[in-house]
Structure 1
């Protein structure tokens, strides 16, 4: 079953209209987004008039030097933080001005998150960790949905294990399955391979790539690693809070070279 069909089968009633609109809109759109922290004489402008569009069914990596605004970009694009000015749209839904209750509902139904720290609940089994977003939203997994997800991420036979019984790569697979179980519009990753060895990182990146190629999932990943970025369709570069360029069909060498010019890689 495709990602879109799974989403429709387990839809939250308050989001069905938004989903219909999302099907014809870009996955993410930022329009003149600025995010400033602090007041007085020395405010910090973490994002400075950023405008960009991320198409549905694409894999986008976001890179830049330390302090370039990568994390702020991810937080604003995913509805975890609100811009000081400008507009953020998720699948055509304007997040600007939404209260926290509505944003929480939207994140549960339409956004998946994968972080460097796996953030699994140690007392729960693999199955229970994966089902957790649905349970929190008052929903139940459909028949065979969990088994299909376990197969998709390569965790067959592990559903009764707890996180401490798994390797780091297996734990990140659980985190990816948890992020995908509700059929999100966008999967956001914040350094998802940062805590993994090179071989395991390649496996996880291959899994994310397959989510895009095989089911049309949209993935947006913040990373510092040119090799990780080479798995994406497009790399966007941030510097001093501003969009500083892009690379389409990236290779690790092209990305590393571009990062050198941003003063972030040697």
Structure 2
């Protein structure tokens, strides 16, 4: 994956960067500030978890970083591309080709096979399917024997593996995961988290994951804590116990 980095990524070592990002919803007396002057860089090949109490700005953070929402102020960079000023068509193209998404609900198309679901982003972009890379991705997520099946024939954990493979197939700059284990039992959730960990370690992928679960966050290289729309701290290589302890004190922020 290293050879896929842009010149800016090689120079800065950052796959994603937020510079003084503020996001306000609504206007006047009803305005709500979801993010306040947030600045952070995500190193290439890193696994970052984002945590915080309800209403802290976690989802807004992920949506702005992934180009799903536009900041009110500030800049969002994906490698060498500034996202905030792009027209919707150009932003859609970048989301399709350079960003991978993994959500709690899988978002698979039941009428398509596993292989068709995985390659959907390429087909939407009218891009050629690299069969060698597809086989490698399928093998890495444990789906080689299931490519001809429909999502309804798979377990929840297997469906999430399809979603992860779909996120990887375009060789994105970064993968954004929003509560990816929220609908899974504990054993399956840990398998998916280990898979995300391996995606970072083996493929050099950059992953940003929003989660409420300290155990899930402990699989990341670092955990960023949000409170009231601001970054309230960061822990590197933390244990689940340390993360839980930090979360209990975020309410005092």
Correspondences of 1:147-166 after superposition (within 5 Å): 147-166=135-154
Q: Deviations over 1:167-195 (max 9, x none)?
A: 00000000000000000010000000000
Tell me how far 1:165 sits from its aligned partner.
Answer: 0.3
Question: Could you tell me which residue of structure 2 aligns to residue 22 of structure 1?
Answer: 9
Whole-Å separation in 1 of the counterparts to 2:51 and 2:161: 23
Question: Could you tell me which residue of structure 2 aligns to residue 205 of structure 1?
Answer: 193
Question: Could you tell me which residue of structure 2 aligns to residue 70 of structure 1?
Answer: 58
Tell me how far 1:262 sits from its aligned partner.
Answer: 1.3
Contact 2:7–2:80 (8 Å) recurs in 1: no
Q: What residue ranges of structure 1 are gaps of 5+ in the alignment?
A: 9-18
Whole-Å separation in 2 of the counterparts to 1:114 and 1:80: 13
Tell me how far 1:20 sits from its aligned partner.
Answer: 3.7
Contact 2:9–2:44 (8 Å) recurs in 1: no
Whole-Å separation in 2 of the counterparts to 1:127 and 1:4: 25
Whole-Å separation in 2 of the counterparts to 1:120 and 1:114: 11
Tell me how far 1:4 sits from its aligned partner.
Answer: 4.4
Q: What residue ranges of structure 2 are gaps of 5+ in the alignment?
A: none
SS of corresponding position for 1:60: strand
Alignment of 1:37 with 2:17, yes or no, is: no
Whole-Å separation in 1 of the counterparts to 2:41 and 2:177: 17
SS of corresponding position for 1:45: strand
For normalisation by structure 1, the TM-score amounts to: 0.91
Alpha-carbon RMSD across the aligned residues, in angstroms, is 1.4
Whole-Å separation in 1 of the counterparts to 2:96 and 2:10: 18
Contact 1:22–1:93 (8 Å) recurs in 2: no
The runs of at least 4 aligned residues of structure 1 exceeding 6 Å deviation read: none
Tell me how far 1:95 sits from its aligned partner.
Answer: 1.1
SS of corresponding position for 2:62: helix
Question: Could you tell me which residue of structure 2 aligns to residue 247 of structure 1?
Answer: 235
SS of corresponding position for 1:114: strand
Picking from 205, 217, 220, the partner of 1:217 is 205
Question: Could you tell me which residue of structure 2 aligns to residue 137 of structure 1?
Answer: 125
For normalisation by structure 2, the TM-score amounts to: 0.96
Picking from 50, 63, 70, the partner of 2:38 is 50
